[in-house]
A and B are shown apart, each in its own frame.
Chain A
Amino acid sequence: MDELKTQKFGDAVTPMGHEIHKNLQLVVGDLTATIGGNPWKPFDNRTVAFLSDVSKFLLIDSNSRKLPDLVSFAYWCRLSNIDQLKKKSGEIDALIGRGTVFHIPPTNVPLNFAYSLVTGLLAGNTNIVRVPNLESIEVQQVIHALKSILLKSEHSELMDRVCIVRYGHIDEITQYFSEHTNARVIWGGDSAVRHIRSVPTNPRSIDISFADRISIALIKSSAVNGASDNELIKIAEHFYVDGYTFNQNACSSPRLVVWDGTEVENKLAASLFWKAVSRVALTRAEVEPVHVMNRLVETCENLSKNKNIKSVDGLFEAAVRLELIDETLWEETSSLRFGTFTQRSISKIQEVKDILNQRVQTISYFGYSKLEFEVPEIKMILQSVDRVVPFGQALTFELIWDGYDLIRCLSRRVVIR
């Protein structure tokens, strides 16, 4: 067995074996320099200036502007937003980056790698990112922007902090990075997390892993019933962003819609709401024929094996709703994607307790004021989830994610008495 050795700053990096070298594609940056790089303070001015220029680069580029995910990312990196994030992060003076962070993003949310990288940078680290998918235009654009800005002389100090690599499922490479970094950020699902965590790290390294989660939408029916036609469309548009982005395939995408009100209110609200959602979803260019086909195929597959589905609504409305015989078993109806939802009625918000469990990550809500969630009884109930956010923000990436305060997790606090 190899001698256990903690990487210290300035240590020479163990050279990689030939096998690893052969199978590793360096997309951006310098591996050795990145592994040996110095930690900075969170929100270091140099990092913020770099991100600001990346943001500008993307927003000026006309190709990028056509891609909504990319525009969102560019806005996220803007100076004003980073300032906001810094303010929300509270007291950070005693913090310093952990060193080098190894990021393992998921395959299919193309820009997840970019958010993960930026988080690592903001926490003060140098970063190795395994990019899963170079074919995506969004990914290519971000890499192009990073490369271009890194070449500018004023950002030369960032050169050693961003290293993007690509490789297949080769545990030797994962192990090499795991042993030479100070933290791993492992994005799900469960089997991927399990596998990567079975690959040894250096003893001081920490893991931040994101397991499979599910999310729900919570709607106060009376608020929907009181909405004007225009307001209804607005509500539906926000819900569309939450429920349809990434083909409803993200952990934060709502799959269960909970109606809060009397039986009569809930019924009316559901009919108004789905009509509006259908109007929005049927006209969006992002909804492609293959998604509609996948939705139909997966609905049929669900029906063939799940006896708990009573009926299916909305086959022709771009929003499929599965009515369950036993609503408490909603989680068993798995893999709801491409605009497929289950529903449940409650008569008061306290009853949401029966629905929540440790797997629920995000509640996106409509019709409530934040104050309603601060009532101690309600607050207690909501504490089982990680995020409670208004409609339209379910998928908005935040530095506090899955309950982790990422800036604090990816940095160290130095105590000087």
Chain B
Amino acid sequence: MEKIDALVDTVTLFLKREPFSISWLEKDGEFLNLVNSLTEHHLEKCQLYRNIVRPLFPAVENPKSLYDVPFIPVRLFKSIELKSVGNSEVFRTMTSSGTTGDSVSQISLDKETSQVQTRALSQIMSSVIGKTRMPMLILDSTAVIKDRAMFSARGAGIRGFSMFGKDVEYALDESMELRIQEIRDFLNRHDGERILLFGFTFMIWQHVCEELRIANLSLPIHNGVLFHGGGWKKLASQNIKNDSFKELIKSTLGIKSVINYYGMVEQTGSIFIECEYGYLHSPSYSEVIVRNPISLLPSEVGQEGVVQVISVLPMSYPGHSILTEDLGTVMGRDDCKCGRTGQYFVISGRIKDAEVRGCSDTYGA
């Protein structure tokens, strides 16, 4: 028990650091040490993780470089229940939204992990929007958070980001229709104030932008700051990229400050935030490593590959180092024009699904 308390203390203390204050080279210092402690912790507490990682990474003890930190594939959280705490300590189980696949990730959170997630997110957010709470408009439906039993990624995202706003209003009703009158009332109430907006990229596009466009309406939220995330997979088929999305937001909602973030339910809290130059930045509490999608060896700066995400937050489940199925490219280190230190990168999509072939499933057709 003492050991875990020590780990919680170390993580909590680490989160006092400024969110964009650790350079790429310095990540192999205290950050790596903390990640190694997490690996050790999960090896001790999660038997399934131990069964997997020990044979897969024989030289698992105390890697000297972030590149050598063991990782597990993100899809594993869908097929195996991986947790490093007893059932009684599980405070809530988060699930991925599951809009595209049939199975969903199951992430077991205890109180401590949940708390550090909140703290990390608030550190990152306040460095971008300041500490003052702004009136907030959620570009999603009230239905998502009404069902308290469902801690889906969507609900969790909304709940997590809501903490940074006040007078929180929802832009969509339970059947995903725009609540135009409520939105107008909200804007009138806060005339002249800065407005914080949050939503999921695809939902915003489909249920807000498209609806406004069809109704030939636009909203004058010129003082707004919009945070959005959740992936581009569905928008890619509509040929909508970050730039055109920003344009669309500007023309339909009047918002000039549009900030994309990269995060996932498996690593809630330590999100990657887009800077003014359009690059995602690693905060002090997490890091990405891009790997060649065939050899899985680390890629050079500028080379596209699959993205591994490392975070110091996951303590109740072994998700501190996971290989995602997202494709991305590290664009540089410590020299972004925005002035933030650390790695900066872009996410370009998902690895392509391919048909699994074989000769043993006539009836599966």
Contacts and interface: CB of A to CB of B under 8 A. Distances in A.
Do A and B form a real pair? yes
Contact of A299 (B56, B58, B79): B56
A149 B163 CA distance: 69
Given A311-B55, A316-B295, A246 B359 contact: yes
Contact of A292 (B51, B72, B75, B296): B296
Interface in B47-81: 48, 51-52, 55-58, 72-73, 75-76, 79-80
Interface in A182-200: 186-193, 195-196
B147 interface: no
26 contacts: A106-B358, A108-B358, A108-B360, A109-B357, A112-B359, A132-B362, A136-B355, A187-B362, A189-B360, A192-B364, A246-B357, A247-B357, A249-B357, A249-B359, A251-B359, A251-B360, A288-B352, A289-B293, A289-B294, A290-B352, A290-B353, A296-B296, A301-B80, A303-B55, A312-B56, A316-B295
Nearest to A284: B294
A317 B356 contact: no
A248 to B, nearest CB: 8
Contact of A189 (B73, B325, B351, B361): B361
Contacts of A110: 357
Interface string B27-65: 000000000000000000000100110011110000000
Contacts of B293: 289, 292
Interface centre among A168, A192, A287, A318 (most CB of B within 10 A): A192
Contacts, number: 139
Contacts of B72: 300
Interface of A is mostly: mixed
Contacts of A311: 55, 58
Contact of A287 (B51, B294, B358): B294
Interface of B: 48, 51-52, 55-58, 72-73, 75-76, 79-80, 293-297, 306, 323, 325, 327, 351-365
Contacts of B75: 293, 297
Interface string A57-81: 0000000000000000000000000
A309 interface: yes
A247 B361 contact: no
Contacts of A195: 363
A317 B359 contact: no
A133 B359 CA distance: 13
By DSSP majority rule, is chain B's interface helix, strand, loop, or mixed?
loop
A24 interface: no
Contacts of A282: 294-295
A243 to B, nearest CB: 13
A192 B80 contact: no
A292 B294 CA distance: 6
A310 interface: yes
A292 B354 CA distance: 11
B76 A293 contact: no
Contacts of B323: 293, 296
A210 B361 CA distance: 12
Given A282-B295, A289-B351, 13 more contacts: A108-B360, A132-B365, A192-B363, A196-B363, A246-B358, A249-B360, A290-B352, A293-B325, A296-B296, A301-B80, A303-B52, A304-B80, A316-B296
